[in-house]
Structure 1
Amino acid sequence: MTDLSPQLTPPGESVASQSVSSLVAAPLHYHLMGVGGIGMSAFARLLSAAGHRVSGCDESVTELTAQLQAEGIPVATGHAAAHVLDAPFGPVDVLVASEAVPKDHPELVAAHASGTLVRPRMALLGDLLRAGPSVGVIGTHGKTTTTSMIAVAMQSAGLDPSAFVGGIVPEFGSNARVGAGPFVAEVDESDRAFAELGCATAVFTNAEDDHVGGNQATYWETVEEQHAGFARFVAQSGRVLLCADWPGLDELVTGAPERLSYGQAEGADYRAVNLRPDEDGTSFTVSFRGQALGEARVGLPGTHNVLNALAALAVTHLHGGDFARAASALGAFRGPGRRWQRIGELNGALIVDDYAHNATKVAAAVQAARQTGRRVRIVFQPHRFLRTQQSWPRLADALMDADEVLLMDIAAASEAPIEGIHATLISGRMTENGHAGVTYLPDRQEILRRLRASATPGDIIVTMGAGDVWKLSRELAGGTA
């Protein structure tokens, strides 16, 4: 029988590790294509902190590119072969690009012709995961929040982690952190190359059918292939900590050298019990194999956030961190950017923005809103025509528990429209199923006028989706988008 006992560091001792700065001995010049993206910008910060020279380029100027410039990382607008070959950026030692970049792109062609090393972004993440003790968070939902919670809990528990996160963590003021402790990373399954990687501890949150189908360069053809990718990552890792509450994960971790579990389920190694939800979050007790570790609280509503926090506390415990300090940090944690992010108020109504864009995430966000005890008013922007085609009935069902839904047009995200696929498929199904408060409202100004005229102190207004719906939440709260 497999020994499932965790290899715990004695209390009070941190895990010795190589820091990110020891990734390579000699500094190099890295140039990152698409550096304005949330992942590439994190790479830029980690590489710069490690002592490398870093530059980048992106199609447009964004808040992230402006921040990088302010941090001393030069960013060019647009893409050109000159970035690889000529001053002020070139010649460069390493060009980093997503697998989604076409192979005939001028910068890639120039790099190959000049002998410049080209590194896919996932290969670079693999370098970081192998540089020392590491934690890789995988799954189709909750990665950004769970990764953020692990890093924040570890930091407070005295473990000094490095981190690579797909969102801005308020406690760090960044999507990256450099420390001497374990490297904690969000590993994105939308890039198929993730299946070539592994880490010391894989945190496996769930597995569904997101990022599957269509002509996206990095998407999976079938959900079976994607889930096989999860299984490969786990098998190439030292151990896996899987969510016992998510059905089917056991079947995907049979190749793991060591298995532990977390959840509310009977038999989980780490359990959250005695849940006490309230308007602002949930208090609960954490036990490890029947022995109470202590009381904890997550300052975000929703059962899914209890599980995310439990995973963070479990990882911190596995690395010998101080449980009480980690739990205290999670009680004050308010989430990374666009993950149940409290934006402000309108006429006393609470305004929250959330990245939820597939059915499971939408249902979880609606459940979190219901936990506040307020009237739940959702502004939902479907994301991508293909995703809407695959899941519009499930999206409609996930929104049914909201009191009101204002439905925007589909955010294309560079996809071509698909005939017959429209946001009204969602609103039509909801109406047919008896929902009296759903309205298709593509006019953004009308959404603003309607909510400004009707918001009351008993409301929670949630802007929801992976597109630019977030801008409305800022406008409603009185800021600028």
Structure 2
Amino acid sequence: MTDHALPIPPPGPAEAFQAASPSLHYHLMGIGGIGMSAFARLLAAQGHRVSGCDEAVTDLTARLGAEGVPVAAGHAAAHITDAPYGPVDILVASEAVPKTHPELLAARAAGVAVRPRMALLDDLLRTGPSVGVIGTHGKTTTTSMIAVALTGAGLDPSAFVGGIVPEFGSNARLGRGPFVAEVDESDKGFAALGAGTAVFTNAEDDHVGGSQATYWETVEEQHAAFARFVAQSGRVLLCADWPGLDALCSGAREQLSYGQAEGADYRAEGLQPDAEGTSFAVVYRGQPLVNARVALPGTHNVLNALAALAVVHLHGGDLALAAAALADFRGPGRRWQRIGELNGALVIDDYAHNATKVAAAVQAARQTGRRVRVVFQPHRYLRTQQSWPRLADALMDADEVLLLDIAAASEAPIPGIHATLISGRMADNGHAGVRYLPDRAEVLRVLRETASREDVIVTMGAGDVWTLARDLVGGAA
């Protein structure tokens, strides 16, 4: 991932938010994941001994090692009991790890406590004032904005983020609080949690319909889990612009809303978009609070920033300082990330991988006023099977689309499911600028020969399409 290419120093001084228990040895399976690595940093900053393992050594696991967290390549039962990783006190694994995994069996045989990763997040959310960001889109950007805005407002938040926040140089931050966390619905254990404030961005049908541990059987089951999280939280701050969220929040103890919709408690008014972002006014129940700006294009980023400023207001922070911090915010890794230029063309990388995110990223690109050229990599066969018509429709507003093969993400191919379903529908609907181009060298050649300062080139998807953005900029004259 692009996140791994950024410098990642350890979190700041652990003056507060310290471990309530004596120092323990935690071993994290899958420590190279963006979420598990954040847990590793928070636990280490609290004074615990931390080790971990993952299938492969990556840039991120190497940086964890440089921070004093030893990481083993591969999985083995010996990690639990033998030096240099064992003996351990607590083994942490996601629910996706099979219960028959050798490390889990070895832990139980040795009397080592086994905890799911969501149990760790629950501990952190219960430590003091907390904010849990839920929804199917925008969690990483919104969580990052909340943490940056609270810091700018003079507070000292802790943060757990599914991406690298440039202002922190990390995906984790340790402070006196409140604790701000991205809560991932792909782990079904999230439904047992709650937060002081639940920020609810939206609810769609992502991570639904598969047999994998990270998928819900039905959208109704997933949305019921969102509703449970909200009901177990102190209050919910929901996006009023997303239809149906209020019904999922009927069990909330206290309900507040944000958005552009009439009747929202926190409203973004007077939007003034330009090529670099959008300026707007924040109004609370008819009373102006602050003038703000987000330096990321797209209406979705206005809503993300509005949620962040609402959280600052709810926690008594300085809104003017928070707004200034957000005006300088350039986004977490792989969320509208500016990589550089190629022949004067702006090169952007974005994690957008489902139809709603893709449409938002294309709309953001259009806001730049440049010709929009997208390199799109569909993600997962099941997701493509479920949503290829919507993906095709979401890409229609791009001027040019170069389509890569599907990133399998460990899924087996599904007969008949291919990237050309997307390009075929786009062509049938009249798009003259879409091409299926699976040869990456050819993608690079085409863009290097034709890019100009009138263009914005966006590499888009949740797979390894990000490498092309780096190659384009790295190979620029």
TM bucket, shorter chain: over 0.9
Q: What's the offset of the Cα at 1:19? A: 7.7
- Give CA deviations for 1:228-281 in whole Å, capped at 9, x if unaligned: 000000000000000000000010000000000000011000000000000000
- Give CA deviations for 1:111-147 in whole Å, capped at 9, x if unaligned: 0111100010111111110111100000000000000
Match 1:424 to one of 404, 420, 427: 420
- Who is 1:39 aligned against? 35
Question: Does the 8 Å contact 2:150/2:317 carry over to 1?
Answer: yes
- Who is 2:76 aligned against? 80
Q: What's the offset of the Cα at 1:22? A: 3.0
Distance in 2 of aligned mates of 1:219 and 1:429 = 27
Question: Does the 8 Å contact 1:81/1:107 carry over to 2?
Answer: yes
Match 1:251 to one of 247, 251, 266: 247
Partner amino acid, structure 1, of 2:332: P
- Who is 1:228 aligned against? 224
Indicate the SS of the match to 1:446: helix
Percent identical across equivalent pairs?
A: 81
- Who is 1:111 aligned against? 107
Question: Does the 8 Å contact 2:19/2:47 carry over to 1?
Answer: no
Q: CA RMSD in A?
A: 1.1
Partner amino acid, structure 2, of 1:219: Y
Question: Does the 8 Å contact 1:20/1:128 carry over to 2?
Answer: no
Question: Does the 8 Å contact 2:295/2:328 carry over to 1?
Answer: yes
Indicate the SS of the match to 1:24: coil
Deviates more, 1:284-293 or 1:213-222: 213-222
Question: Does the 8 Å contact 1:370/1:376 carry over to 2?
Answer: yes
Question: Does the 8 Å contact 2:153/2:321 carry over to 1?
Answer: yes
Indicate the SS of the match to 1:256: coil
Q: What's the offset of the Cα at 1:217? A: 1.1
Is 1:366 aligned with 2:379? no
- Who is 1:15 aligned against? none
Match 1:477 to one of 465, 473, 476: 473
Is 1:408 aligned with 2:412? no
Indicate the SS of the match to 2:379: coil
Number of corresponding residues: 463
Question: Does the 8 Å contact 1:22/1:131 carry over to 2?
Answer: no
Within 5 Å, which residues of 2 pair with 1:26-425?
Answer: 26-425=22-421
Distance in 1 of aligned mates of 2:336 and 2:475 = 18
Q: What's the offset of the Cα at 1:479? A: 6.2
- Who is 2:6 aligned against? none
- Give CA deviations for 1:21-69 in whole Å, capped at 9, x if unaligned: 4332211000000100000000000000000000011111111101101
Question: Does the 8 Å contact 2:300/2:360 carry over to 1?
Answer: yes
Indicate the SS of the match to 1:477: helix
- Who is 2:463 aligned against? 467
Indicate the SS of the match to 2:289: strand
Distance in 1 of aligned mates of 2:214 and 2:430 = 38
Question: Does the 8 Å contact 1:335/1:341 carry over to 2?
Answer: yes
Partner amino acid, structure 2, of 1:77: A
Distance in 2 of aligned mates of 1:20 and 1:443 = 51
- TM-score by structure 2 length? 0.96
Distance in 2 of aligned mates of 1:23 and 1:269 = 37
Distance in 2 of aligned mates of 1:172 and 1:334 = 12
- TM-score by structure 1 length? 0.95
Unmatched 5+ stretches in structure 2: 1-13
Distance in 2 of aligned mates of 1:254 and 1:449 = 54
- Give CA deviations for 1:264-312 in whole Å, capped at 9, x if unaligned: 0110000000000000000000000100001000000000000000000
- Who is 1:446 aligned against? 442
Indicate the SS of the match to 2:324: helix
- Give CA deviations for 1:185-244 in whole Å, capped at 9, x if unaligned: 000001111000001000000000000011211310000000000000000000000000
Deviates more, 1:240-249 or 1:213-222: 213-222
Unmatched 5+ stretches in structure 1: 1-17
Match 2:20 to one of 9, 24, 42: 24
Partner amino acid, structure 1, of 2:253: P
